[in-house]
Structure 1
């Protein structure tokens, strides 16, 4: 009996180790900051991760999550066309989320202004951009500043861009779905590393 229990224990340990490795392999780590991102955000899958730099400063790491349909459309695309397909698929997706994990301390006003300044030239409705800016400001100011470890989440859907800080929902800025996605996906994106990571991870 003791021998049987030992064998079963070893088998259970081996299986546990297997699944742990498998789960770890599905997550991604930003090589620039060593910040980790889970493979799932609710029903959404992680497409890629990258760093947002300001000069030599690694301000934050960002992970992009979206639906499996978008991932499948990119997977069947040659790498030469992947960036174009990525942008179109994400824009057409029902929901895409960008998770920003801070690596460097940034004040609330500066953080809100920086993101709003990136969205502004890509948006036609400037009032919506001001709403987004205020939501970010309110969310970050509540904790004083965006310190290392702070998480900002932007859920982009047809409803608009929902802003959350450290898991606390702040509000929704109407519209801006396409404009916000373009901040990270167009040719002048703020994190080329994120785009490259998405292509590497999603293309066969």
Structure 2
């Protein structure tokens, strides 16, 4: 048993090392363009790698495109799962990005949305996925504060949500607004659970990352 465990541990370490070396020295995925909006996403966000992109639609309106970034270890885990079984692939994707140090979602606006409406829409998506109503209220206020400073979330506006153990850190157009605690799992689920707001995003991640 000890030998089996050691072998497994070494194999895992080798996979992680290979993924990390690839991220640092080459082989990075090319930047992606959301086919629905033609909005471009860089292949990296600091040390995080782009997993996939997709459009968030409200009826016929293409509201924004979203890109998700996570680390090389999470990518190595998900890349070993076959895309032929979508349920298993999505489960592996959820588990990997929710258990890593940081997963970030970048939302790039394609349609003008008022500050209050934008903040409410995101908060309303997080709310049923969390029991921490105070934190959801804070998240809504942070988004409102960041977007209200420019009047509305106009096309080209970039909202970034960094999900980590600290919670969800909100940034608007590169300016950090603040952090809502304890919502990282719920925020990830907005885009990754079975009732996600962008099926196109989920499909793109599976196609792009899984084997």
**Both structures adopt the same fold (TM-score exceeding 0.5):** yes
Matched length: 183
CA shift, 1:185, in A, is 0.1
1:21-100 equivalence runs, <5 A: 26-79=30-83, 80=85, 81-100=88-107
1:104-143 equivalence runs, <5 A: 104-143=111-150
CA shift, 1:93, in A, is 1.1
Please give the root-mean-square deviation of Cα atoms over the aligned residues, in Å: 1.4
Runs of 4+ in structure 1 off by over 3 angstroms are 22-25
Deviation string 1:59-91 (CA, Å, 9 cap, x unpaired) is 000000001111111100122121110011111
Task: Give the corresponding residue for 1:14.
Answer: none
TM-score by length of 2: 0.85
1:180-191 equivalence runs, <5 A: 180-191=187-198
Structure 2: how far apart are the matches of 1:119 and 1:169?
20
Whether contact under 8 Å (2:29, 2:50) holds in the other structure is no
Deviation string 1:9-53 (CA, Å, 9 cap, x unpaired) is xxxxxxxxxxxxx99970000000000000000000000000000
Q: Secondary structure at the match of 1:78?
A: coil
Task: Give the corresponding residue for 1:19.
Answer: none
Q: Secondary structure at the match of 2:38?
A: coil
Task: Give the corresponding residue for 1:169.
Answer: 176
CA shift, 1:161, in A, is 0.3
Structure 1: how far apart are the matches of 2:202 and 2:48?
17
Structure 2: how far apart are the matches of 1:55 and 1:150?
21
Structure 2: how far apart are the matches of 1:124 and 1:25?
37
Structure 1: how far apart are the matches of 2:140 and 2:27?
36
Larger Rg belongs to: 1
TM-score by length of 1: 0.88
Structure 1: how far apart are the matches of 2:27 and 2:109?
24
Structure 2: how far apart are the matches of 1:201 and 1:145?
32
